Amino acid sequence: PTFYKLFALFIPIWFSFASSAQDVKHKKPNIIFILSDDHTNKAIGVYGNKLAKTPNIDRIANEGALFNNFFVTNSICGPSRAALLTGKYSHVNGFISNDKKFNINQFIFSRSLAESGYQTAWIGKWHLETLPQDAFSYWTILPDQGHYFNPDFITQANDTVNHKGYVTDIITDLSKDWIEKRDKDKPFFLVIGEKATHREWLPALEDLGAYDDVTFPVPSTFYDTYENRKAAAHQDMSISGTMKLGFDLKVNVDYETDWIYSRLDSEQRNAYRAYYGDRISKEFNDRKLTGKKLAEWKFQRYMRDYFSTAKALDRNIGKILNFLDDNGLAENTIVIYGSDQGFYLGEHGWFDKRFIYEESLRTPFMIRYPRVIKAGTVIEQPVLNIDWAPTLLAMADAPASKEIQGKSFFDLLKNDEVSWRDRIYYHYYEYPQPHRVMPHFGIRTTKFKLIRFYGEQDFWELYDLEKDPQELNNIYSEFENSELLIALKKDLAISIKEYKDDLAAEIMSK
């Protein structure tokens, strides 16, 4: 009996050995990258917006790291996703604008993760025209922009499968499902590609009216008249002019036949008709607004739809975080939240993105990794979306490719002393459709932004970001031939060379 007692004593010790052996086997972290669409940091609580109800997004930052200066290299959807996948600028990965077809046969970092033993998946919005093919071991994606209600998904078998319900909920369910069914002996990498908060901002039924008791402050630049800024004057993305009362703001539309609402089932349609038809359209028709009053009414409606759409996004992120907690996955799963670019919430009178100006250049970014990142970390260094791929590879301890132009920021998160870039390079192309933003490239240093617009018209802009953070005062002509401008142009030329942007080099030489 003593022998058996002794033996029994060893059983727990043996078990603890066995489980630590398991930990070693699992030591590579899982990675979940939640990539939303058009969600600007100005709409997020932890970035300082007190009106935003984003407790779950805020939680990721509070339990991990928040990036205060995260920038994109080309502020639209497909190009940002292509930068994520390749770690390369648009002119190198080839996907310069949304109308291109992505070359899936180039270096894509998820393949390297797979070679290092990861199961990889992309679920949700993809928007690169070419299907993911072998770049992810599992995928199910929205065709193009996808739909908010009862969306179709393209599956790996190249079938189109329809799911009933609201897109943000469905993407969460598909994601949880995939995590549950994965091979538990391998680490995983999952991109959750959200459709929210893309135009035309259709909230979930439960969020209709969620922000109706909030009056959003009209940005101080809402009535910008674009003096000295030709490209800003030329755009087609204003709330007062471009934004449509029907298409965008759901006012006085036919909820039976309009192509957006024809997808809705009767419960969804009735809820939309009751809210937008009976309430909002009626309010609009009764008030007979014109001029500034009309512009500001449109602005309030835009804000309410945008923030209400983001509410389901945040709630679903909460579901993912709870799911990780409930399944013992929180400790060893890196959770990332980011958007494909920033967005205008009425600044300069605009919606949409594209410009190198601050609101669309910046994108929200935060990351939680309890084993490595101290809760409440704040990163100030300028980080780029081409840095995502090398960082994720570094975190997974997988080899990086020489083709990658970005830089891993993993060491910044570990609080190590790292030398870092002090300026960033940007290049935007898509013109004239859909929003008439002229092509341009430029650099942003801590203090200045130098921009070269080209195409139909060639001209420069220069901003002093410290004195003029809203970029209203183009001081280029004041500084022509100054030492400052000569130095900035030299820096720009160095970046163009470093990133091998031949088109920009050619334009500079003109």
Binding site for ligand SGN (CB under 6 A): 37-38, 76-77, 98, 127, 198-200, 352, 434-435
Q: Which is nearer to ligand SGN, 53 or 147 (CB)?
A: 147
Q: Which is nearer to ligand SGN, 246 or 434 (CB)?
A: 434
Q: Are 385 and 68 in contact (CB under 8 A)?
A: no
Among 150, 130, 108, smallest CA distance to 398 is for 108
Query: Can you tell me which residue has the tokens 């930990």?
Result: 23
Distance from C-alpha of 323 to C-alpha of 325, rounded to nearest angstrom: 5
Q: How far is the CB of 101 from ligand SGN (least distance, A)?
A: 15
**Whole-Å CA distances, 93 to 35, 96, 403:** 20, 8, 10
Q: Which is nearer to Ca ion, 305 or 340 (CB)?
A: 340
Q: How far is the CB of 237 from ligand SGN (least distance, A)?
A: 7
Which contiguous run of DSSP H or E holds residue 271? helix 266-272
Distance from C-alpha of 333 to C-alpha of 330, rounded to nearest angstrom: 5
Burial of 258 (0-12, 13-18, 19+ CB in 10 A): middle
Judged by beta carbon distances under 5 to 8 A according to partner kind, the member of ligand SGN, Ca ion, none in contact with residue 434 is ligand SGN
Among 153, 160, 201, smallest CA distance to 177 is for 153
Q: What residues between 58 and 77 interact with Ca ion by CB under 5 A?
A: 77
Give the orientation angle of helix 483-498 with respect to helix 502-509, to 10 degrees.
150
Half-sphere exposure of 178 (CA within 13 A, CB side): 25
Judged by beta carbon distances under 5 to 8 A according to partner kind, the member of Ca ion, ligand SGN, none in contact with residue 127 is ligand SGN
Q: How far is the CB of 78 from Ca ion (least distance, A)?
A: 8
Q: Which is nearer to Ca ion, 304 or 354 (CB)?
A: 354
Q: How far is the CB of 238 from ligand SGN (least distance, A)?
A: 12
Q: Are 401 and 112 in contact (CB under 8 A)?
A: yes
Q: How far is the CB of 162 from Ca ion (least distance, A)?
A: 24
Does position 194 bind Ca ion by CB under 5 A? no
Q: What residues between 325 and 344 interact with Ca ion by CB under 5 A?
A: 340
Q: Which is nearer to ligand SGN, 91 or 199 (CB)?
A: 199
> How many CB atoms sit inside 10 A of residue 111's CB?
19
Cβ-proximal residue to ligand SGN, closest one: 77
Q: Which is nearer to ligand SGN, 347 or 352 (CB)?
A: 352
Q: How far is the CB of 299 from ligand SGN (least distance, A)?
A: 17
Q: If binding means CB under 5 A, how many residues of this protein chain bind Ca ion?
A: 4
Q: How far is the CB of 123 from Ca ion (least distance, A)?
A: 17
Does position 352 bind Ca ion by CB under 5 A? no
Q: Which is nearer to ligand SGN, 247 or 479 (CB)?
A: 247
Does position 43 bind Ca ion by CB under 5 A? no
The single residue among 30, 34, 36, 38 that binds Ca ion, judged by CB under 5 A, is 38
Q: Are 336 and 33 in contact (CB under 8 A)?
A: yes
Which contiguous run of DSSP H or E holds residue 2? helix 2-25
Strand partners, 124: 141, 193
